[in-house]
């Protein structure tokens, strides 16, 4: 085994802080006993704060894929039409899941280099005079590309079209890393997971739900059992769950929420934005290209980097892992072997970013990838005065 700690710089699962590991390293309690109610209530209430909602957040022991399914089966009926936008690999997977459930997705094609276009969504909704479209589904932070969709603007576009469709958003990799406001942005169902900005291991997923979504669930016709919101709501009111919860992950969730409260969500968002800017400064200094083409769409969670023609991103990643014990995200489906993804999310600071970018620069040389030197220096210039500057700006 190599000396030192492995650098896990994929865009999730993110590194789990020692504080959260210690919180999870506690005996599992009786999930029907009186002490558990305090744990459950803290997790459910704390999740509402993270999502920016006064309404319910439902927590499942599952991956984000399960929360995708839960959002759809609780609100829709067989044969319903849903409008979805191709921002990348994960938007495409959500669409395929919808098809397997018997829904009819209308997929607005994208080029995988930008977020969803509110105008294109509005135009399609205006064509739907019969209101056959029952939901609009958008990925907030597309983990495969590093592009962010403007959720508030999409809500305005839906309203301007005068369309009654439910608005569903996947912020699996955006939550607790970049700005997100479930209630203020008028989202009906928000989908997320534990293993990204919440700094937990994989295993928890979430549906934040509006009153409109809960009303839709009363008449929805898709079959559901494990994912049923109504089965969750009664026990959740007293801090319990209808089936065995992931107790130790809930311990960790409560600790993660405590850490986010201590730093302050605005400071968390500013930190991620700053690290994204620094990472992209490095990419530009190397003479490489960021996959997300529109600067205003670029994510603070990750940076996807395009390889020069004729060079393999997977070979580069393998060399980085072998020589420096650092893991980068691979390119998925349409961009397989053409990009690598640098994760800069979760429990992450300036020195960790500089170490990560140094690993990239050294591995580019080892892999024979054409580039200029100086990427780390360019990032350092963006980082400037470090956390003291960030705190001063926040004040």
Q: Helix H segments across 128-210?
A: 151-160
270 token code pair: 């500013």
Pairwise CA distance, residues 349 & 341, whole Å: 18
What pLDDT is recorded for position 276? 98
From residue 312, how far is each of 181, 316, 324, 331 by CA, in Å?
Answer: 38, 6, 18, 10
Calculate the CA 47 to chain-centre distance: 15
Task: Give the 3-state secondary structure of 269-310.
Answer: HHHHHHHHHHHHHHHHHHCCEECCCCHHHECCCEEEEECCCC
Kindly state the DSSP code that residue 104 receives in the 8-state scheme: E
What pLDDT is recorded for position 274? 98
- The reply to whether omega before 388 is within 30° of 0 (cis) is no
Strand 205-209 versus strand 339-343 pairing type: unpaired
Tens digits of per-residue pLDDT, 223-238? 999 999 999 999 999 9
Q: Which residue has the tokens 């709501």?
A: 233
pLDDT per residue rounded down to tens, the chain (395 residues): 789 999 999 999 999 999 999 999 999 999 999 999 999 999 999 999 999 999 999 999 999 999 999 999 999 999 999 999 999 999 999 999 999 999 999 999 999 999 999 999 999 999 999 999 999 999 999 999 999 999 999 999 999 999 999 999 999 999 999 999 999 999 999 999 999 999 999 999 999 999 999 999 999 999 999 999 999 999 999 999 999 999 999 999 999 999 999 999 999 999 999 999 999 999 999 999 999 999 999 999 999 999 999 999 999 999 999 999 999 999 999 999 999 999 999 999 999 999 999 999 999 999 999 999 999 999 999 999 655 544 554 55
Which residue, among 155, 135, 159, has the nearest Cα to 82 in the 3D structure? 135
What pLDDT is recorded for position 369? 98
Q: Are 263 and 117 spatial neighbours (Cβ–Cβ below 8 Å)?
A: no
Strand 326-330 versus strand 7-9 pairing type: parallel
87 token code pair: 């921002």
32 token code pair: 């029907």
Pairwise CA distance, residues 331 & 33, whole Å: 46
User: Annotated binding residue at 298?
Assistant: no
Burial 82-105 (b: 16+ CB within 10 A, else e): bbbbbbbbbbbbbbeebeebbbeb
Pairwise CA distance, residues 149 & 8, whole Å: 26
What pLDDT is recorded for position 1? 75
Pairwise CA distance, residues 125 & 131, whole Å: 8
Pairwise CA distance, residues 90 & 107, whole Å: 13
What pLDDT is recorded for position 373? 97
What pLDDT is recorded for position 134? 98
Q: Helix H segments across 105-184?
A: 118-127, 151-160
Domains of the chain: 18-261 (3.40.640.10), 264-394 (3.90.1150.10)
Q: What are phi and psi of 255, to 5 degrees?
A: -70, -40
Segment (H or E) for 229: helix 229-236
Tens digits of per-residue pLDDT, 133-163? 999 999 999 999 999 999 999 999 999 999 9
Pairwise CA distance, residues 291 & 114, whole Å: 9
What pLDDT is recorded for position 2? 82
């Amino acid at each position: 085994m190599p000396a030192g700690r492995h650098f896990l710089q994929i865009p999730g699962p993110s590194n789990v802080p020692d504080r959260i590991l210690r919180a999870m390293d506690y005996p599992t309690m009786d999930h029907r006993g009186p002490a558990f109610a305090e744990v459950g209530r803290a997790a459910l209430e704390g999740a509402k704060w993270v999502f920016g909602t006064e309404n319910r957040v439902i927590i499942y022991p599952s991956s984000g894929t399960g929360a995708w399914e839960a959002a759809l089966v609780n609100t829709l009926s067989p044969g319903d039409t849903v409008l979805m936008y191709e921002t990348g690999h994960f938007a495409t997977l959500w669409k395929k899941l919808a098809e397997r459930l018997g829904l009819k997705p209308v997929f607005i094609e994208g080029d995988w280099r930008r977020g969803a276009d509110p105008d294109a969504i509005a135009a399609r909704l205006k064509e739907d005079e019969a209101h056959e479209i029952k939901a609009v589904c958008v990925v907030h932070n597309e983990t495969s590309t590093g592009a962010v969709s403007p959720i508030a603007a999409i809500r305005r576009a839906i309203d301007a079209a005068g369309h009654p469709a439910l608005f569903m958003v996947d912020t699996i990799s955006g939550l607790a890393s970049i700005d997100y406001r479930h209630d203020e942005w008028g989202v009906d169902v928000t989908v997320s997971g534990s293993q990204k900005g919440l700094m937990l291991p994989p295993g928890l997923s979430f549906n934040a739900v509006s009153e409109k979504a809960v009303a839709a669930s009363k008449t929805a016709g898709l079959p559901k059992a494990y994912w049923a919101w109504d089965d969750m709501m009664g026990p959740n009111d007293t801090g319990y769950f209808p089936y065995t919860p992931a107790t130790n992950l809930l311990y960790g969730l409560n600790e993660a929420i405590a850490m986010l409260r201590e730093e302050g969500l605005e400071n968390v968002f500013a930190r991620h934005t700053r690290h994204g800017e620094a990472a992209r400064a490095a990419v530009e200094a190397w003479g490489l290209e960021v996959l997300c083409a529109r600067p205003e769409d670029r994510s603070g969670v990750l940076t996807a980097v395009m390889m020069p023609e004729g060079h393999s991103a997977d070979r580069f990643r393998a060399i980085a892992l072998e020589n420096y014990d650092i893991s980068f995200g691979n390119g998925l489906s349409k961009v397989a072997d053409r990009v690598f993804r640098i994760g800069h999310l979760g429990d992450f600071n300036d020195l960790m970013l500089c170490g990560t970018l140094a690993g990239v620069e050294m591995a580019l040389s080892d892999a024979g990838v054409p580039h200029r030197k100086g990427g780390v220096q360019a990032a350092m210039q963006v980082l400037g005065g470090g956390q003291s500057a960030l705190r001063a700006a926040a004040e």
